[in-house]
Chain A
């Protein structure tokens, strides 16, 4: 429980704004040979990713590829079986999720990331755990971004529509002033119009130099926002690069259902041949 985000992430200027420790352009979030398992089943088989400070990385991939697991491991909710999570140049593998959250790592989990039996106002209240933000301030900023929430402050969150619930969940990304934001399938079960609205907010957050990893099934919405993109298939990075390039290779990755790698290569374990090793975050 020593390595977490640099102190700067807690208050004051965000690390994304200036030079991150370890030299200019060093990745703020990095995974090195990350492996994760549920019981005996390994679902991540050595994932190497890196996102530069203030950049947006889109992670795409079919169902069950391990995208959610990847985010859960980074956020500390699930313990990696091997490999490392590196935040701001420091090892954060196995850190307590509470500490990570309080230092500015914000995961909006899959499904509706709200407390259904608390009212909207109480949900917002829960989001003030990180550092001394006043209640009024939090409410004001959330409502400024999503005016609909302002009309529903006393409604139990569980009774709101899916889109409204997702707005409430995303409000956390706004009021928590995160250094790193992890978004898991914001679009799940939502109408295209609402999805567009949510991603407009994501773009606004990205413009404030927040480092974002966003997981999506549907590429179109997210590739517009992203600086870099990676495709995760069966727990391996099948492709990584600029969004435009990835868009081209997507159908292969999805339809083929196999990692785009040389099946005969005996040197797979070293990972040298895998594009994911190239640290997409650093290429720009």
Chain B
């Protein structure tokens, strides 16, 4: 009984901390629509800041605590809103989520950079652990304070949201931002307030929970992630239910700490389960809560465009990848090559996200866990390099994916992300760490308690033992996986995925089986991820569960989304950055600094290009190359020539690298100027459609005010645009949209050139229109 009371008191304290954290999370979610994955990391940063102030510099707690919670944290929230979050309105949900992942990565690496992880630090409980006695139990003042603060937070938040004008305006903004504007409430003020309050609560929770562990970035971050379970029990909406949820999670966690070690049977299996107890609560909550209760927020107008990949483009891409791999494999040094073999496995895992996250709009945080399963399968079944093990890996991962997706079918948006995240953490922290066990007479030993070794494949006389052949084989496998994804997008399944993403309700009323479609895409992408894991395992030969950790999975997803999760090229980008020595060799000792910077840049890039860099920057830049065969053939010729010279040892590796770089930069510029010359227009900036269109619009406006025929032209233009499907409802509105939006809707790859417009005019039988006025017609007139 005594023991029970002790655990209850500490459980209540944990619950109080979770409640503070979870209510901050819920607050930012309901008022801004962004689920802040970095909420825990914000608390972690605050804990370190507090440690620095209170322990490092010896500031008294009554000064250090308010400084952290009431000054530093709100400032940080303000910065976050200003730099990143503000620009995410209307971005796809995956982007909104992944931006916060980027923030998490920034914070973790920032902390590891500022506070050397190898130094032991411990934060002090408030009141220096003193307390009073209640019967036989000692109750620390710290715990009493935590509970008091939690209660105060509950009351203050309730007052804020329901009884203050600022709070009501925050809720109003979620309902209808433009109506809130018409009522005189500045939307940015509400968002700023929400972020400032949210980060302050995260900071408070982080500082309070820190004494329970030693100060270490990732464990502290994950510890506060447990509060997510509480937020989900509150359905990310209700603050009272969030507090109930916090109570459940907090007590469950502390009872588990107290009683799990007392279970006699299977101790070695259960030990690992301790840290994942809150995650299990999250899993159960997601499974038990009725689906109708877990509806995501209504989808806001999304400014996302998913172009259909063409076979030509897909094949060209794959050919380029394999060609590049051959060049790399034949010219790179052995050490470099060895350090880069793992990239193809990761690239395949990355490309497995394209159908699921990109096409179907379902956010999965456990793709790398499927890869871990695939790796384990290959290590066990691939003895002697049997390539069938790869297929088995894909099949097993696909089956697990299907099973995981069954409960996920009714979930979408953030709830699905959390479910898959919970699954990933469970695998990562518990299942992958299990010692060997026996089920139905078969002995399982997933990661053999540590390191897993896998052989490289052999097919008949062909074996991939050498780094060279394996590298090229990996590239071919990636190319096949990418082509499979293209095939999916071009099939009926692909169209269904897009339909379900854009309007689940409409798809259902059309008689589409939404669940079956979702199940199919989950299975497929889990299978691909499993394949990727298998390739990874045999690439690195010996692998540990750490390679498939939740945190690494988040980083992979981040890279894929930044590159553009609807493009197959994003997988390659993720593989290159994560699977080669590119980052670590460039960074050397300052790896964490570089990671922090890169992730920060990624967040900013995402805020600017919510659809990713490939569709909005790279593809438009390289598009002309495809249309000028001379440039394309010339580039390939130059690179091949350099490569041959390199193989003949006429030039060295640096010259080859330099040559490839020059070609990569010069080809698009040359092609663009040729395209422009051919169409007889003045060269326009390569990257900005908006400026091109705006310039044309400006000329047209000028023309309209000076010529009498302009009105007729304008009148002609409206139906033109309407006939081509630009009209009502399709085009997102808003002054910031500029003129760039509709061009893509016309089916063009931006930027639109004169040739495109001529073709359009011909199709619309407008070719006869006076040549001098064509420009005005095209932009929809002034």
Interface residues of A (CB under 8 A from B): 35, 37-42, 45, 64, 75, 77-79, 81-82, 97-98, 101-102, 106-107, 109, 113-118, 122, 125-130, 172, 234, 266-269
Contacts and interface: CB of A to CB of B under 8 A. Distances in A.
Given A39-B726, A39-B741, A41-B721, A97 B168 contact: no
Interface string B714-748: 11011001100011100111010101011100000
Interface string B246-280: 00000000000000000000000000000000000
Interface of B: 162, 165, 168-169, 171-172, 174-176, 178-186, 693, 701, 704-705, 708-712, 714-715, 717-718, 721-722, 726-728, 731-733, 735, 737, 739, 741-743, 779-782
Contact of B168 (A116, A125, A234): A125
Given A126-B168, A126-B169, A267-B708, A77 B182 contact: yes
A116 B780 contact: no
A41 B729 CA distance: 11
Contacts of B708: 266-269
Contacts of A38: 731, 733
B739 A126 contact: no
Contact of A115 (B165, B179, B701, B728): B179
Contacts of A64: 728
A172 B183 CA distance: 8
A47 B737 CA distance: 23
A267 B171 CA distance: 51
A118 B781 CA distance: 43
Given A101-B183, A115-B179, A269-B711, A39 B169 contact: no
B721 to A, nearest CB: 5
Given A42-B781, A130-B184, A172-B183, A115 B172 contact: yes
A42 B742 contact: no
B175 A116 contact: yes
Given A35-B782, A78-B735, A101 B722 contact: no
Of residues A81, A116, A126, which shows the largest number of chain B Cβ atoms within 10 Å of its Cβ?
A126
A102 B184 contact: yes
Nearest to B176: A115
Contacts of B186: 98
22 contacts: A39-B742, A40-B726, A40-B779, A41-B731, A77-B181, A78-B733, A79-B735, A98-B184, A101-B183, A102-B184, A113-B182, A115-B171, A115-B176, A118-B171, A118-B175, A126-B168, A126-B183, A127-B183, A129-B185, A234-B718, A266-B708, A269-B708
A81 B739 CA distance: 11
Given A118-B172, A266-B709, 14 more contacts: A39-B780, A40-B743, A41-B722, A64-B728, A77-B182, A79-B735, A97-B181, A109-B178, A113-B179, A114-B179, A115-B180, A125-B168, A126-B165, A269-B711
B48 to A, nearest CB: 38
Nearest to B736: A79
A64 B729 CA distance: 11
B168 A45 contact: no
Contacts of A115: 171-172, 175-176, 179-180
A35 B718 CA distance: 13
Nearest to B727: A41
Contacts of B732: 39
A144 to B, nearest CB: 20
Given A118-B175, A269-B704, A106 B182 contact: yes
Nearest to A268: B711
Nearest to A267: B708
Contacts of B714: 42, 45
A129 B175 contact: no
Contact of A77 (B165, B169, B178, B185): B178
B694 to A, nearest CB: 11
B387 to A, nearest CB: 52
Given A38-B731, A39-B737, A41-B780, A269 B183 contact: no
B689 to A, nearest CB: 12
Contacts of B181: 77, 97-98, 101
A66 to B, nearest CB: 11
Contacts of B172: 115, 118, 122, 126
Contacts of A267: 708
Contacts of B705: 269
Nearest to B693: A40
Contact of A125 (B165, B742, B743, B781): B165
B731 A39 contact: yes
A41 B719 CA distance: 9
Going nearest first, the 10 A-B pairs with the smallest beta carbon separation are A129-B184, A40-B780, A39-B742, A79-B735, A101-B184, A39-B731, A115-B175, A269-B711, A102-B184, A268-B711
